[in-house]
Amino acid sequence: MHVPVVYIGQSDSIVERHHRLLPFLLPYENARANALRSSESSVDFVASRLLVRVAIGFVLKIPATEVVLSQQCEKCGGGEHGAIRHPFNNLNISTSHSRGMVAATAAWDPIGVDIESMDRQRLMIPPFDCVGLCPEEILSRLVANKGSSGSTMLWTVKEALLKSSKAITLADFPSICVLLSKGNGGDECLDGDTYGRRVGCWKINSHYLGIACESTAVEIVHHTDSISMEVPGTISLIDSREVLHESLGP
C-alpha cells in the first residue's frame, strides 16, 4: 500500500509559492473566491485549490499545471460545489482550509483531511459538545483537560473521517467515538481503527490537522517555513519535511 502524502501550509505562503498556478483556476473557482466575505477567506480558498493541484500532480506524476479539476454535488448535481473530482474517478481527493492554514491530499486509497482553528469551538453555537461528540467523548479526560481545544481536536478527526467515507454523515457524529478506551494513554488517545480507517490528529501552530485513511502511516509535507508541529497521536508519521520548490514540473 502506498503511503499517502498530505500537504499543509499557511495560505499566504501557498499562494506566493504557487502563484504560477493562479491562471489555471477555473472560472467558478475564481467566482467563489471573489464572492467570499473576507479577504482572508478568499486567500484560504484559493490556497486550498492551488495546493490540491500540487497533491494531485504528485500522485499522477504530472505537473500541477496539467491537473484538471471539476466539482459535482451528489445531492443536486450542481457543478459549482460538492466534492472535488478528477477525470480519474478512483482518485480520492480531500482538501480543507481554516483561518490562514490549508491542507490537501490525493491518494488511490480512501483518505480524508480536515484542518480547524483551535478557537473555532468558541465561535460555534451550539458548541461541538452538543452536536458532534458522543457521551464518552464529552466525559473524557481529553475534553476535561483541554476544554474546547479537546472538543475541536475530536471534531477535526471526525470531519476527516466523514471525508474519507461516503457511509458517514454529520448525523452519525454523536454515535461515533474516536477515543481509545484502553491502553497507556487511556481515553486521551485517538482510536487506531474507526470505520475501517486509521485516524490521527496533529497540532500545527494554532490549528489541528485531522487525517483518516486506510494506511498505517502518512507523510506530511510542509509548504511553509514557519510551522510548529506537535503530535498527540496516532497514525505513524513516517516523515515530515518542508518543500521549497514550485512542484510545477519542467
Q: Where are the domains of the chain?
A: 5-242
Residue 231 has pLDDT above 90, yes or no: no
What confidence score (pLDDT) does residue 193 get?
61
Asked if residue 249 has pLDDT above 90, the reply is no
Mean pLDDT of 90-110: 93
**Does 1 or 182 have the greater pLDDT score?**
1
Query: Where does the pLDDT of residue 105 fall: very low under 50, low under 70, confident under 90, or very high at 90 and above?
Result: very high
The answer, yes or no, to whether residue 164 has pLDDT greater than 60, is yes
Q: Does residue 108 have a pLDDT over 50? A: yes
Compute φ and ψ for 51, nearest 5 degrees. Answer: -70, -35
The pLDDT of residue 6 is 92
226, pLDDT greater than 90: no
- Starting at the earlier edge strand, list the strands of the sheet with 207-213: 111-117, 207-213, 198-204, 229-233
Which stretch of 47-61, 101-115, 194-208, 224-238 has the lowest confidence by average pLDDT? Answer: 224-238
Amino acid 126: pLDDT: 55
Residue 25 has a pLDDT of 93
Predicted pLDDT of residue 236: 63
Contacts 24+ apart (CB under 8 A), 179-188: 179/136, 179/137, 179/140, 179/142, 179/154, 180/234, 181/136, 185/233, 186/141, 187/136, 187/140, 187/141, 187/142, 188/140, 188/141, 188/142, 188/145
CATH of 5-242, one of 3.10.450.40, 3.30.390.10, 3.90.470.20, 3.90.1150.10: 3.90.470.20
Proportion of the chain above pLDDT 70, given as a percent: 70
pLDDT bin (cut points 50, 70, 90) of residue 181 is very low
Output the pLDDT for position 7.
92
> How sure is the predictor about 70, in pLDDT bands with cuts at 50, 70 and 90?
confident
How confident is the model at residue 186, as a pLDDT? 41
pLDDT in tens, 122-136: 445 456 666 788 888
